[in-house]
Amino acid sequence: MISQNQQRAELLQAEVDEATESYFRLRIDGTIRYLTINPGLYSEDTMCFGPSLLPSLPDFPTGDWNDALVTRNPGTGKPHFESVGRTKFPSVVNTWHGTLVDYLDITVKERIHTGIYAIESPIFDIDAIIKFVRFEWETGYLENETTAYQWIDGHGIGPRFLGHLTEDGRVIGFVVERITGGRHAGPQDLELCQQALSRLHALGIRHGDTNRFNFLIRESRAVIIDFDTARKCDDQEALRKEMDDLPGFLESTSRAGGGGFI
């Protein structure tokens, strides 16, 4: 039997830890809401799987709320909603692009990486990717990356920036083109990657994470992605070292790094 919570809600993202508080982003009654669960109430397996978690929760409160805390009721020993309210979550501030896209107006097709999803939207006639803040403490990373896309806009370095992603009136991320028909770079692509990195350095920007998964090869061209560690840099020695280190990163067989976009 489908519970009331399952009828009303969908688990979108979770940050789970049995030893500390766990955090959840849900769509409830057609709006996005956030839930914090105290430790000791549910197992990690239950919290990571929406069809297990949702019927285990107390009935969701009605009304206008976006932030709630579930704790153990001291009287019954069962989980209950200790607090429910409206929180003003932080927003990405640098909204330099003219297009705003609401999360509730897109169709999510597939998860590519943490916080990165392929989407469909009637606004765009190309394949698109969203990268967004799942929880408020991630906002700083998206602020940095949003600004980096402004720096490189129109220079043929990264994916085309299509707009800002919004939720409940705040900016939580961005939309970029999806690099379809591409592949991750390897040692044989050194010259193409050097060309792309040179264009970035010519703008006085150090990428900060030039692992091979952050270079996508498509149509004899390298596209750089993942600009959350990119910074303005006038230290020519630091830029030269980043370029000199590139061959080693392209030869690495490590699976670490790389947020996708393909």
Beta strands 67-72 and 79-85: pairing type?
antiparallel
Can you name the residues that pair with 184 across neighbouring β-strands?
216
Q: Is 103 helix (H, G, I), strand (E, B) or coil?
A: helix
Q: Is the pLDDT of residue 262 over 60?
A: no
pTM above 0.75, yes or no: yes
Q: Is the pLDDT of residue 5 over 90?
A: no
Q: Is the pLDDT of residue 2 over 90?
A: no
Q: What is the pLDDT of residue 132?
A: 98
Residue 254 banded pLDDT, cuts 50, 70, 90 = confident
Q: Is the pLDDT of residue 1 over 90?
A: no
Q: What is the pLDDT of residue 6?
A: 86
pLDDT tens-digit series, residues 167-217:
999 999 999 999 999 999 999 999 999 999 999 999 999 999 999 999 999
CA-closest candidate to residue 146, choices 128, 168, 161: 161
Report the C-alpha gap between 58 and 137 in whole angstroms.
26
Q: What is the pLDDT of residue 182?
A: 93
CA-closest candidate to residue 79, choices 55, 44, 45: 55
Q: Is the pLDDT of residue 3 over 80?
A: yes
Can you name the residues that pair with 229 across neighbouring β-strands?
none
CA-closest candidate to residue 136, choices 11, 32, 240: 32
Residue 186: CB atoms within 10 Å: 14
Q: What is the pLDDT of residue 4?
A: 86
Q: Is the pLDDT of residue 261 over 70?
A: no
- Mean of all residue pLDDT scores within the chain: 95
Residue 253 banded pLDDT, cuts 50, 70, 90 = confident
Q: Is 145 helix (H, G, I), strand (E, B) or coil?
A: helix
For the chain, the helix, strand and coil percentages under 3-state DSSP, each to the nearest 5: 25, 30, 40
Q: Is the pLDDT of residue 260 over 90?
A: no
pLDDT tens-digit series, residues 63-104:
999 999 999 999 999 999 999 999 999 999 999 999 999 999
Classify 100-177 by CATH class: alpha beta
pLDDT tens-digit series, residues 203-248:
999 999 999 999 999 999 999 999 999 999 999 999 999 999 999 9
Q: What is the pLDDT of residue 257?
A: 60
The ranges assigned to domains in the chain are 4-85, 100-177, 183-251
Q: What is the pLDDT of residue 252?
A: 85
Cβ pair 127, 61 in contact under 8 A: no
* Topology, domain 183-251: Transferase(Phosphotransferase); domain 1 (1.10.510)
